[in-house]
Amino acid sequence: MRLDRIIQQKSHDPYNDGRKYTEGMYCPRCQALYHQGRWRWPGKGDTFREPQLCSACKRIRDNFPAGEIRVSGKYLNSHRREIVNLIQNVVKEEEARSPLKKVIDFSNEGDRLRVSLTDDHLARRIGEALHRAYDGDLAIKYSEGERFVRLKWHRDV
Ligand SMILES: [Zn+2]
């Protein structure tokens, strides 16, 4: 019984509970607006009612990613700038579509890159873009019972 309860609590996503938000709430950190049941970028004539961190900015505040991608291999050393640019472009495009797609942390760990993200689909989009542009090996792993995806992209030569 206790185990069941723990698993249930784990699979509940506290950052994706739309019922907490109401029409016209806006995010004081990124200016996203809650409209018709979802967070989006504001447009002309929008009404801003009450400040409330959007679910992506809550994840950033708590350092609680929904996805992560790790880039490794010798190819990274010779193409670091290109690879970083590609990742940043994917993030820029995706974030322009939805305020919930953001980078939490972008870190260089020796000969690796690690990017943590507020959105699992964004992590997948980055992995797929790397694979499409540079081939290499892409591994995708969803954690059981949690909405978290970890991708690893690796290329040596
Ligand atoms: Zn926000």
CB neighbour class for 122 (10 Å; exposed up to 12, middle 13-18, buried from 19): buried
Residues 138 and 102 in one domain: yes
Place of tokens 């409209």: 35
Q: Residue 127 to residues 18, 67, 68: CA-CA distances in angstroms?
A: 28, 11, 10
CA of 84 to the centre of ligand 1 (A): 23
Range of the domain at 125: 65-154
- Using CA atoms, how far apart are residues 10 and 4, in angstroms rounded to an integer? 10
Give tens-digit pLDDT for 73-99: 999 999 999 999 999 999 999 999 999
Residues 54 and 72 in one domain: no
- Using CA atoms, how far apart are residues 6 and 4, in angstroms rounded to an integer? 5
Give tens-digit pLDDT for 22-53: 999 999 999 999 999 999 999 999 999 999 99
CA of 97 to the centre of ligand 1 (A): 14
**Encoded amino acid at 12, one letter:** H
pTM of the model: 0.86
Q: Does 129 map to a domain?
A: yes
Residue 145, CB half-sphere, CA atoms under 13 Å: how many?
A: 8
CA of 30 to the centre of ligand 1 (A): 4
Q: Does 39 map to a domain?
A: yes
Residues of the chain with pLDDT > 90: what percent?
Answer: 77
Residues 45 and 73 in one domain: no
- Can you give the length of the chain in residues? 157
